[in-house]
Amino acid sequence: MDGGVIPSDLRRPLLEHAQPENDNDDDNDYENIEEQASFLEEWNASVAAFVADDGGEDNVDCHCSSIEHEPDSDSDDDYDFEERAVEEDNSSDSSRWAVISSNLCRICKATLLPDAPPTLGSYFVESNDQGHQENQENENVSEGGDESGRIKEPRRLVDGPGAIKFLKLAVLTFGSIALVRWAVIAVGISDRDQSLTMTQIWVYEGDSILRDLAVFFVVGRMHHRTGVDTLEWIGFGLLANLYFESQAYLWWMQHSATPYEMHCLWPWQLWAFASIVILGVAGLLVGHAIVAHRHGRLWIAVGELLGCLGVFVLPVVASPYAHFHHWFAGWLLGMHANLHNEWWSRATMAYCWGMYVNGIAVYGRDPLLTCDYARFLAIDQNCPISMIGNDLGQDNSRGRGLISFLGELLFGLANGGGFEESNPPNWRNCTDSGYHP
Sequential DSSP letters for 373-424: HHHHHHHHTT--GGGTTTTTT--GGG---HHHHHHHHHHHHHTT-S--TTS-
Residue 232 has pLDDT above 50, yes or no: yes
Residue environment code for 46-58, b if the CB has 16+ CB neighbours within 10 A, otherwise e: ebeeebeeeeeeb
Among 51-65, 141-155, 369-383, the range scoring the smallest mean pLDDT is 51-65
CA distance 359 to 11: 59
Which residues 6+ apart lie within 8 Å of 104 measured at CB?
none
Say if CB 329 and CB 310 are below 8 A apart: no
Least confident of 149-158, 163-172, 367-376: 149-158
pLDDT above 90: residue 137 = no
Which one has a higher pLDDT value, 312 or 384? Answer: 312
Backbone angles phi, psi at 258, to 5 degrees: -120, 155
Report the range of poorest mean pLDDT among 38-42, 174-178, 306-310: 38-42
Angle at 185 between CA 183 and CA 188, to 5 degrees: 105
Contact 436, 425 (CB under 8 A): yes
pLDDT at 7 (0 to 100): 46
Indicate the average pLDDT of the chain: 76
**Burial of 184 per CB tally in 10 Å (0-12, 13-18, 19+):** buried
What do you get for the CA distance between the two ends of the chain, in Å?
Answer: 81
